[in-house]
Amino acid sequence: MNKRFETKIGNESLIIETGKYAKQANGSCTVQLGGTLVLVTCVTSKKPREGIDFFPLTVEYQEKTYAAGKIPGGFFKREGRPSQKEILTARLIDRPVRPLFPKGFINEVQVMAIVLSYDGQNDSDILALIGASCALSISSIPFNGPIGAVRVGRINNEFVINPTFSQLDESALDLVVTVTKDGVIMLEGNSSELKEEIIYEAVNFAYKQSKAVIAFIDGIVKECGRKKITPELKEIDPDLQAQVEKLASAELDRINGMNAKEERIETFDILAKEIVSKLVTEDGPHEESDVKKALSKVEKEKVRQLILKDKRRVDGRGFTDVRSISCETGILPRTHGSGLFTRGETQSIAVTTLGTSADEQMIDALKGKAYKSFMLHYNFPPFSVGEVRPVRGPGRREIGHGALAERALKAVMPSNEDFPYTIRLVSDILESNGSSSMATVCAGTLSLMDAGVPIKAPVSGIALGLVKENDKEIILTDIGGVEDHYGDMDFKVAGTKEGVTAIQMDLKIGGISLDLVKKALSQAHDARLVILDEMKSVISKPKESISEYAPKIVVLRINPDKIGELIGPGGKNIKRITAETGATIDIEDDGTVQIGAIDTVACDKAVEAVKRITQGVEVGKIYLGKVKRIMEFGAFCEVLPGKEGLIRISELANKFVKKVEDEVKVGQEFPVKVIEIDPQGRINLSKKQAVDKKEGQDESHHEKHKRLDHKDKGKH
């Protein structure tokens, strides 16, 4: 039976309906805010999946173009591979719900969110996240929820819950806060260099609103919830666990005393083979996967107890220590900008490429077409962790890490008006042992400054971890891979000296307190400044000029009424300029003209050509004229494309001229001065007055623009 529930969250009504759609799923509901509506379903397999030691959860998020009253582009006219927004939203749902399933539960679970209606103002990602929480909570699937989530913005120094897209354009903050009954479980967002204190206030503000969402879903569960199934959990045989612990304990203590990651991994693999050979027999009850899982559990306890009881980390560092850092710039000879950042055993090489507006990325999304002039792409090749595996296209992890680093740097990028280039930044991870996304932020900053991109300030990033048991909780600065794997938290913060530009927190436990969030923000701040100092010792500000190998771009402002003249009939003028100079010319409706070319000479020629067309003829100025036709009474000269004037025979020279042909020829070029534009718009020229120009008179139009262009090049 269809049930409808409504509550007020922020300034809008949140509406959840269940029992109407997708009734064969284990759980389903629709979530609506304004005119945006999302259908969310969840389904589980009836039996556990054999032969695995992980929880097989898949989350899919799909945007149907019909939701916004649009037909998809392309040849096939239907939705294709997931967009970046769809991938990031699927991750946004996956990350907070995954830790809330029972340990050892290996039945396949699939959560699907489909945007059915879209109003262009309310983002569907928060609705999909709330819908996943509700669908799982009312379903028969075992789930330790619900969770609550809101987006918080900051406009005019005031926090706003679930801001619309138009409000986000004015907001200094875009932060998604997800909570459980036990505390905060996920953070995801970016800000315009806000102080850590303000970020904490935002989390605190959103926490209360998210709790209201939990209470709302709890009410729905009481009325519509199905009885939870009792899952068959895959657990380790206690006897096997005891045997493995006895065999491995002493050697694991020795391994955890090794500082080098590679040495620890090699020694651990040898230990695993020895224990498997002793405990796995042809007729025995144990399989190799069971032994390795038991060994991993022993290793986890050893690492955690080393931190909690012995107050020592695996690599010997203090809890707030940052690993050794090295930075380099300009390491690649022909790229526009490059940076190499190494922190411990994590290394990123970042390369900046500058392009024109023709290189912008066009995004066709539900809210319409948009263009990106700054793109960051993150790659994680298998050799970075000493592995052999197929190399495919970027996966969800690569997309997510790249998006986080892009948000961190976007806050300091120059406007198109100040720096009219399309910027592509690529980070290739060469080594990885903890937080390669934050290494990407640091390497990216170095690369951008090396390329001469006038960023507002350098950005650094750091990842923190957590080991928590009961009332004991220790935050670890600059976590390594083993601390990330066996710890409870991955807390990433990026920012400038002035404040935070991006934040992301994921947990493996049910939630952490607001006090712990506050402490983590403070600890991250101190570490970020340490890294910033190391970066600034190599390059403290952007280079004054861009690379000689980068394209040269000049932006002109012309009268919008002149756009037609510049383009010419059928694009004749633009085609001619691009053919003669090789430059690209992009024209906006407001009269902005962007000219880009591979070198300064070609760019200058194109600029001069555009100016000659768009700047009208003025009395008293001197132009370079070209003879087009000769008549008995004078010669017609072209002074600008499509603009001709008459030089009467008496104005050809400072002497008597019997025949026009004696003084000029068709096709000849020479300076001419505009002496009159009559009421009918006819232009009268003089060759002799241009030749006789005295010192102090108007300089040549051609020479003047050469001088101005030379000045302009210094600005660009």
DSSP string for residues in 223-238: HHPPPPP---B----H
| Burial degree of 220 (CB within 10 A; 0-12, 13-18, 19+) | buried
Q: At which of 164, 199, 224 does a domain end? A: 224
Claim to verify: residue 331 and residue 403 sit in the same structural domain: yes
For residue 395, which amino acid is it?
Answer: G
DSSP letter for each residue of 330-388: --SSSSSEEEEEEETTEEEEEEEEEE-GGGPEEEEETTEEEEESEEEEEE--GGGGT--
- The whole-angstrom distance between residue 110's C-alpha and the CA centroid of its chain comes to 27
**Mind listing the pLDDT tens digit for each residue in 410-456?**
999 999 889 999 999 999 999 999 899 999 999 999 999 999 999 99
Cβ–Cβ under 8 Å, residues 639 and 674: yes
Task: Supply 5's token pair.
Answer: 């529930």
Q: Helix, strand or coil for residue 549? A: coil
Are 286 and 341 members of one domain?
A: no
Burial (CB count within 10 angstroms: exposed 0-12, middle 13-18, buried 19+), residue 310: exposed
Per DSSP, helices labelled H in 487-596 are 514-536, 563-567, 572-581
Are the C-beta atoms of 343 and 325 separated by less than 8 Å?
Answer: yes
* Sheet with 36-48, side-by-side order of all strands: 3-9, 12-18, 27-33, 36-48, 107-117, 57-63
Enclosing domain of residue 259: 238-308
Is 319 among the domain residues?
no
Tabulate helix, strand, coil % of the chain (nearest 5). Answer: 35, 30, 35
Q: Can you give the pTM of this predicted structure? A: 0.86
> Is residue 185 assigned to a domain?
yes
Q: Do both 79 and 191 map to the same domain?
A: yes
Question: Which residues make beta-bridge pairs with 700?
Answer: 622
Q: What is the mean pLDDT of the chain?
A: 91
> Do the domain assignments include residue 176?
yes
Using DSSP, state whether 61 is helix, strand or coil: strand
Domain end (from 536, 567, 596): 536
On the 0-12 / 13-18 / 19+ scale of CB atoms within 10 A, 229 is middle
Do 35 and 153 fall within a single domain?
yes
- 643's CB contacts (< 8 A; 6+ apart) are 617, 683
List the beta bridge partners of residue 350. 339, 427
What is the average pLDDT across 358-376?
A: 88
| pLDDT at residue 315 tops 90 | no
Q: Clarify whether residues 487 and 558 are in a common domain.
A: no
Question: For 56-103, how does the pLDDT look when each residue is reduced to its tens digit (9 = 90+)?
Answer: 999 999 999 999 999 888 788 888 889 999 999 999 999 999 999 999
Which pLDDT score is estimated for 692? 67
List, for residues 673-710, the tens digit of each pLDDT value: 999 998 888 999 999 998 765 433 444 444 444 433 44
Question: Do 423 and 453 meet the contact criterion of CB atoms below 8 Å apart?
Answer: yes
Whether residue 15 has pLDDT greater than 50: yes
Bridge partners of residue 328, in order along the sequence: 340
Output the six-digit token pair for 153. 């913005």
pLDDT for 698 equals 44
Identify whether residues 303 and 371 lie together within a single domain. no
What's the per-residue H, E or C state across 616-669? CCCCCCEEEEEEEEEECCEEEEEEECCEEEEEEHHHCCCCCCCCHHHCCCCCCE
The order of strands in the sheet holding 337-343 is 325-329, 337-343, 346-355, 422-431, 374-379
Indicate the number of domains in the chain.
5
pLDDT in tens, 154-208: 999 999 999 999 999 999 999 999 999 999 999 999 999 999 999 999 999 999 9
Greatest extent of the chain over all pairs of C-alpha atoms, in Å: 120
Question: What confidence score (pLDDT) does residue 693 get?
Answer: 57
* Average of per-residue pLDDT across 29-46: 97
pLDDT computed for residue 262 by the predictor: 81
Same domain, 593 and 682: no
User: What pLDDT, on a 0 to 100 scale, did the predictor assign at position 639?
Assistant: 87
Is residue 231 assigned to a domain? no
Boundary-marking domain end, from 614, 634, 663: 614
CATH code, 276: 1.10.10.400
Both 355 and 504 in a single domain? yes
Bridge partners, 506 (sequence order): 186, 490
CATH number, position 588? 3.30.1370.10
Pairing mode, strands 500-507 and 489-495: antiparallel
Instruction: Give the full edge-to-edge strand order of the sheet including 552-557.
Output: 552-557, 592-597, 584-587
599: Cβ contacts below 8 Å, ≥ 6 apart: 552
541, part of any domain? no
Q: Is residue 543 situated within a structural domain?
A: no
Tell me the Cα Rg of the chain: 33
Our CA angle for 119, 125, 129, nearest 5°, is 130
Question: Which of 472, 462, 443, 614 is closest to 527 using CA atoms?
Answer: 462
Q: How far apart are CA 272 and CA 253, in angstroms?
A: 14
Size of the chain, expressed as the number of residues it contains = 716
- Considering only residues 53 and 703, tell me which one the structure prediction assigns the higher pLDDT: 53
> Quick one: which of 260, 346, 352 has its CA closest to 539?
352
Please tell me the predicted confidence (pLDDT) of residue 707. Answer: 39
DSSP-derived pairing of the beta strands 57-63 and 107-117 = parallel
What is 240-261 written as a DSSP string? HHHHHHHHHHHHHHHHTT---H
Q: Are 489 and 512 spatial neighbours (Cβ–Cβ below 8 Å)?
A: yes
DSSP-derived pairing of the beta strands 374-379 and 422-431:
parallel
Question: Does residue 135 lie within any of the structural domains?
Answer: yes
Identify whether residues 672 and 568 lie together within a single domain: no
- Asked whether 613 and 641 are in contact (CB, 8 A), the reply is yes
User: What pLDDT, in 10s, does the model give residues 206-252?
Assistant: 999 999 999 999 999 999 999 999 988 888 889 999 999 999 999 99
| All residues at 6 or more sequence positions from 36 whose CB lies less than 8 Å from its CB, including other chains | 115, 117, 118, 119, 121, 122, 123, 124, 127
CATH number at residue 699: 2.40.50.140
Helix (DSSP H) and strand (DSSP E) numbers for the chain: 16, 29
Is 314 a domain residue? no
Residue 132 pLDDT exceeds 50: yes
Q: What is the pLDDT of residue 407?
A: 97
Q: Burial of 128 by CB count in 10 Å (0-12 exposed, 13-18 middle, 19+ buried)?
A: buried
594/627 same-domain check: no
**pLDDT confidence tier of residue 660, bands split at 50, 70 and 90:** very high
Note whether 141 and 84 are same-domain residues: yes
Regarding whether 358 and 244 lie in a shared domain, the answer is: no
Distance of alpha carbon 144 from its chain centroid, rounded? 32
The enclosing domain of 61 has a CATH number of 3.30.230.70
